[in-house]
């Protein structure tokens, strides 16, 4: 799982993320040589991810990699009705 510290850059907009509650982090999954590789083992602003045009494709690819490589050790992602991306396991605590 991506480490977070105040000021860590958002993998989507490159601006610093000041507080952990503003971020969602992703696991380091095997590279797939896709446009989404920069998001693996990275943090993004939740607000950036909510409006990102490719979020549905990213969530599908991420979950596919979790199912293949890390099931049970990494939480899958889901989309809320409001369009937010969240980890499926509520009590899953990123590092």
Closest contact distance (angstroms) between CB of 62 and Zn ion is: 17
Q: Which residues bind Zn ion (CB under 5 A)?
A: 10, 12-13, 45, 48
Task: Report DSSP letters for 4-66, one per residue.
Answer: --TTEEPTTT-PEE-SGGGEEE-------SSTTGGGTT-EEEHHHHHH-TTHHHHHHHHHHHI
Of 56 and 67, which has the nearer Cβ to Zn ion?
56
- Please, are residues 38 and 11 in contact by the beta-carbon 8 Å criterion? yes
Shortest CB 42 distance to Zn ion, Å: 11
Closest approach, Cβ 56 to Zn ion, in A, equals 18
Shorter beta-carbon distance to Zn ion: residue 13 or 60: 13
């Amino acid at each position: 799982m991506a480490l977070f510290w105040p000021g860590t850059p958002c993998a989507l907009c490159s601006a610093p993320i000041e507080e952990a509650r503003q971020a969602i982090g992703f696991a380091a999954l095997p590279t797939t040589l896709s446009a989404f590789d920069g998001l693996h083992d990275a943090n993004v602003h939740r607000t950036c991810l909510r409006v990102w045009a490719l979020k549905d494709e990213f969530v599908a690819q991420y979950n596919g990699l979790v199912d293949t490589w890390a099931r049970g050790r990494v939480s899958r992602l889901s989309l809320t009705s409001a369009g937010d991306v969240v980890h499926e396991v509520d009590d899953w605590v990123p590092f």
